[in-house]
Amino acid sequence: MPITVQVLQDASYQDQQDLQKIYRDAPPWLFAPFSGDSGLIESSLADGSLIAGRFNDRLLGAGRLQRHHDVWYLSHLCVRKVTRRRGVAERLVNQAQEMASQAGAELRLLAPAGQIEAQALAAKLHMSLDVLATGRHSEPGHCSAILPG
């Protein structure tokens, strides 16, 4: 399945519908520090941190990619339930890793403590996982979640 990964800046009506479907089945912990899927989507689109995987003009997965000087953080990663276990999350992570590398930065995954799904994905992809407490800020150290696809 050829997945195209892109930074979403202007989401079409269809993209918005797809993003809602992606996050519909996500566990509540995934949205911290946001109030829910709408807050996460709106904020991530507004600050240019939303990346998404597209197949045949439809979004199948998305995540929040926060870019800092030496380290980039990938959080809030989720894949639409009907397309999980097809490599979408891995493709999103690999593309984010390539983007970070080209910018001279390291990519790290973010998730609150105790999230087995995040730990499993990080281990599978041999990635660093920062275990963070959730809070009301969107800076590393205060937020985040990740869910494998």
Give φ, ψ of 87 to 5 degrees: 90, 10
Residue 55 is inside which H or E element, if any? strand 50-55
Q: Which of 71-85, 95-109, 124-138 has the lowest mean pLDDT?
A: 124-138
Give φ, ψ of 61 to 5 degrees: -155, 160
**Number of alpha carbons in the 13 Å side-chain half-sphere of residue 138:** 17
Pick 125 or 134 by higher pLDDT. 125
Reply yes or no on domain 4-132 having CATH 3.40.630.30: yes
At 128, the pLDDT band (50, 70, 90 cuts) reads confident
pLDDT value at position 145? 41
pLDDT value at position 12? 93
